Amino acid sequence: MAGITEDKDSLLGSKGSSAFSLEGSNSITTFTALKAQKQFHDNFSLTGIATFGNTNMSSPSNSFVDSASDVKVFKYCFNC
């Protein structure tokens, strides 16, 4: 799976206020995910999921916060 998300006035779901407001910012995140599953016996399987994302945010208006670029996220999970 792969995709693109866009957030207005936030960075990866975070919010700010007053001098650290994110109002006026625009964040674009591109991501991809991979899932694999292996059945070993009738009652045992192993599942792995890996997700990678990259985010860039434009500068908010009237804030001490600057733009953000190349914010990378890597997440993985194994489940039996």
pTM: 0.74
- The 10s digit of each residue's pLDDT in 17-35 is 888 899 999 999 999 999 9
Whether the per-residue pLDDT at 14 is higher than 90: the answer is: no
What are the pLDDT digits (tens) for 35-58?
999 998 888 899 999 999 999 999
Over the range 10-47, which residues count as b (16 or more CB within 10 Å of their CB) and which as e? bbeeeebeeeebbeebbbebebeeeeeeeeeeeeeeee
Q: What is the DSSP letter of 14?
A: B
Cα 80 to Cα 1, 4, 75, 76, 77, distances in angstroms: 22, 30, 17, 14, 10
Query: Has residue 5 got a pLDDT over 70?
Result: yes
Counting Cα atoms < 13 Å in the Cβ hemisphere of 70 gives: 0
